[in-house]
Amino acid sequence: MNGVLLVECATWLIISVRFNSAMNKIRRLDNNLNIEGKRVLLRVDFNVPINDGAITEDSRIEKVLPTIKFLINKKAKIIIIAHLGRPKGKIVPELTLKPIAKKLSNYLNQDVVFLNESIGSLVIQNSKKIPNGKIMLLENIRFHKEEELNSVSFAKELSKIGDIYINEAFPCSHRAHASVCEITKHINSFAGKQLLKEVNVIKLLTNNAKKPTTCIIGGSKISTKSGILVELIKKMQNIVIAGAMANIFIKHKGYNIGQSVFEKNQENLIENIIQESKKNNCNLLLPEDVIASKNHNSKGVLKSLDQINDNDLILDIGEKTLQNIIKVIDESKTILWNGPAGYFEIDEFSAGSRKIANKISENTKTKSLVSIAGGGDTVAAINKFKCSNGFTYLSTAGGAFLELLEGKVLPGIKALEVNE
């Protein structure tokens, strides 16, 4: 048994006996519950990247396969509710879920019926015709504006499609949407096994983490992550700022960032984060050098911060910065990673993210490092570099992942609590 598997086994053993009080109130699907012939409304997050009709990264689909197979073995009639992208209540052909039905069929070795509707009498009629152990995937639920409005009437109509409801969509459980929140008031509802696993792993690793702890955090907007940064500064020994988010810190220090992406008018927020790190004796690790280029198609050039000019785009971390991060990883017992270090989609600018992923994977296998990564881009990068089996846990959630780390109550989780 390798180191990763040992860590995972130990983690799941702890999780099984150390639920916090809030999670004990969650309605869970009992393995012994008889759901044969029952219509199960399964809410999932299939928000995967699709290019010219082809799915380019399918981690979110793979995550829920165990739950789907469990329901198949229980001979339930499975109706899947999902979304893709942000159509804003309009029908956008490019955001249809039809390619996902084909992918699911390949994974499960059975035909998955795709219905180009997601609500209404036709859907209800078809839900009753599904053979036991078979699956019907509904069209993008966000084609209806009522979904994001958490509409009561819309949720009531959705609830008529099934006999029981399961939320297996942790990545969108921070959204107060009809198919995530309001629906639970109108149908017998349960938390999915994967959702519970995601929530408890994150809480375990933040509340009972082995020290020293490190968080590597990226992304482009500091304003959306300021709350989580302040909370993590109080808990972590090291915070590594990477990716486009680092640009505003570089600019705050008085350096030119050229044409690089950064969020304007956040000086006070940046200064607050810096002061909080000093107050809490947290090591705030910022880039000391970068890989810059004139555009995404040109060769990258290693530059110190004072060498960046007006026409440069910062697209990756430099070698000195990388070595500083590697040193911190080697000293850490627990690592949380959310946000790649650079524009990893292009090989020329992927070295920082690749070497970070490889180092975390290596240390998880050989040094009992506990490592958790979250967010679609982060997981996509880890999969690209073939390091997924070297992490203790990968969460496909982005916003939900961060909000739970911040200590916020997620609306989709709250909706599943037992009323006392």
Looking at the annotation, which residues are catalytic?
A: 60, 221, 376, 399
Measure the CA angle with vertex 402, ends 396 and 408; round to 5°: 125
